[in-house]
Amino acid sequence: MKATLLLMFAIATTVVAAPCEPVRADQALGAAQLVEIAVEMNPQVKSMRAQWMAAIHSIKQNYAPADPIFTYLNVDSPKNPFAGATEHSYAASESFQFPGEAILQADQARRNAEIARLGYMATVRDLRAQVEAAYYQTLLDDALWQVGQELVASLAQVMKVTQVAYSANQVTQTDFISAEFDLTNQRLAQEQLRIARANDRTSLNQLLYREPDAPLNLDEKIQPAPLETPVDRLIDRATRVRQEILETALAEKNNATALTLAKMEYLPNYTIGYEFDHFQVASAAPTATALQDHSIFVSVNVPIFFWIKQREDVTRANYDLEAARDNTLAVRGQTAASVTTLYRTAQISYRTAAVERDTLTPLARQNFRVALVAYQVGKIDFVTLAAALQRAYGARVAYLQSLNQFLAAEVALEQAIGEPLSR
């Protein structure tokens, strides 16, 4: 059955951050191509990338000191502040942090830029998972609709058989009415599946930022693969690449730096200044012949209120660092648990789908064919025939659902790990 092959495919391993190639109008789109289009068009991805770029351009400015201050004074004017001054004074001053603080602040900004990059990659990762899940759901509903179409054809065949048997007085009218009821009911179910298929494509178009009813030519010729990597290796891989784990590790380092900076508040910042005075009245000058003088000054801050400021900053920074360490441990534990449970779900779903495809579905089909012949010769009743038909249909639906569960678990597993699985 062609329908049962629609969901035989693997998770895309495309590097979604790369620019997508132009898509031809007649090209069948697989998961990789759909993800590339979504990443290129998604405004949230663009926003996160802009935030990353903004964070990068916030690093160098930490090395620059504060802007210098230039001062001009028109001193001791007897009539107004703008004319006839006794003295003209020119001053320049520059404030500096204690040596080393700027380097630590730049390190924090650099880590913040890396955190922004990881946030961008996490957004791409989550969008990839949404697109793949929508793509697979679309193919699942397409497959269910085609299976339903074949069930409609089988029910129509059953109805004809019961009609012939009823015309020959071999069965009661109840069999014919029951067959007609089942056929009508399945046709109504097909209408619901038709709407579900249309809604699937609308959801996929929404992720691609296209019109709701824009046509989609989807690739149906991809094969799945079982998970062969041991779960311990997947957990180790997630610990090294999952964006949230890396973000919390960087946040922990930033909090350690913040603690150092809090301790450095006890060290004085300072200001260096220069002043030039030009006296307009000789009697105001230092001497009668020296109408100009030069001054230099250095000022430092004195942390006399350390008991309510610096000490509290250090205490707060210690607690922030403790919280960051605990957050890192919590995210690692949650990731390990998620990877383990999703791995088990994917494994059992794949094995179940394989049994339903290779064993249960062929048996159910054979059972229906035998039951149909047996009903025609009067060896079984209609209830048994109907049960055999529903069993054949149910086996195929169960196979598609198990396969869909495998794919959904695989997508979620990739999302929990932080990157696509290798094939």
Residue with tokens 């990597």: 229
Residue 315, both tokens: 């205490």
10 — pLDDT class (breaks 50, 70, 90): very low
**What is the reported pLDDT for 284?**
81
Q: What is the dihedral of CA 345, 346, 348, 350, to 10 degrees?
A: 160
146 — pLDDT class (breaks 50, 70, 90): very high
pLDDT tens digit string along 27-66?
A: 788 888 999 999 999 899 999 999 999 999 999 999 988 8
First-to-final CA distance of the chain: 26
From the CA atom positions of the chain, what is the Rg in Å? 37
**What is the reported pLDDT for 24?**
52
Residues 20 and 99 sit within 8 Å (Cβ to Cβ) = no
Residues 242 and 335 sit within 8 Å (Cβ to Cβ) = yes
Provide the residue type at 37 as one letter. Answer: I
Q: Edge to edge, what strands does the sheet with 69-75 contain?
A: 69-75, 87-96, 270-279, 292-300
Q: Which sign, positive or negative, has the C-alpha torsion 320, 322, 325, 329?
A: negative
Residue with tokens 């990059």: 117
Provide the residue type at 234 as one letter. Answer: L
What phi, psi does 418 have (nearest 5°)? 110, -5
DSSP 165-230: HHHTTSS-HHHHHHHHHHHHHHHHHHHHHHHHHHHHHHHHHHHHT--TT----B----------S-
* Residue 409 CB contacts under 8 Å (≥ 6 apart), including other chains: 342, 345, 346, 349
What is residue 142's three-state secondary structure?
Answer: helix
| Mean per-residue pLDDT over the chain, rounded | 88
Residues 204 and 13 sit within 8 Å (Cβ to Cβ) = no
**What is the reported pLDDT for 304?**
85
Distances, alpha carbon 8 to alpha carbons 11, 115, 143, in Å: 10, 37, 11
307 — pLDDT class (breaks 50, 70, 90): confident
Q: What is the dihedral of CA 127, 132, 138, 144, to 10 degrees?
A: -140
Q: pTM of the prediction?
A: 0.81
**What is the reported pLDDT for 17?**
35
**What is the reported pLDDT for 26?**
61
**CA separation for the pair 71, 280 (Å, rounded):** 18
Mean pLDDT of all residues in 123-141: 94
Residues 249 and 328 sit within 8 Å (Cβ to Cβ) = yes
**CA separation for the pair 78, 88 (Å, rounded):** 14
Q: Characterise 14 by phi-psi region: left (phi > 0), alpha (psi -120 to 50), beta (else).
A: beta
Distances, alpha carbon 414 to alpha carbons 12, 76, 127, 410, in Å: 10, 76, 12, 6
**What is the reported pLDDT for 197?**
92
User: Which residues does residue 274 pair with via DSSP β-bridges, in sequence order?
Assistant: 92, 296
**CA separation for the pair 97, 65 (Å, rounded):** 8
**What is the reported pLDDT for 282?**
82
* Residue 364 CB contacts under 8 Å (≥ 6 apart), including other chains: 388, 391, 392, 394, 395, 396
Task: Decide if pLDDT at 22 tops 50.
Answer: no
**What is the reported pLDDT for 423?**
56
Lowest mean pLDDT among 130-134, 153-157, 169-173, 237-241: 169-173
Task: Decide if pLDDT at 6 tops 60.
Answer: no
Domain ranges of the chain: 3-417
pLDDT tens digit string along 153-208?
A: 999 999 898 888 888 888 788 888 988 999 999 999 999 999 999 999 999 999 99
207 burial type by CB count under 10 A (0-12 exposed, 13-18 middle, 19+ buried): buried
Distances, alpha carbon 268 to alpha carbons 48, 171, 298, 304, in Å: 38, 103, 12, 11
3-417 under CATH 1.20.1600.10, yes or no: yes
Please indicate whether residue 82 or residue 337 has the higher confidence score (pLDDT): 337
Nearest to 243 by CA among 117, 59, 409, 133: 117
Distance of CA 23 to the CA centre of its chain: 24
Task: Decide if pLDDT at 219 tops 90.
Answer: no
Please indicate whether residue 24 or residue 251 has the higher confidence score (pLDDT): 251
Nearest to 132 by CA among 372, 373, 421: 421
Residue 257, both tokens: 């730096």
**What is the reported pLDDT for 324?**
94
**What is the reported pLDDT for 84?**
79
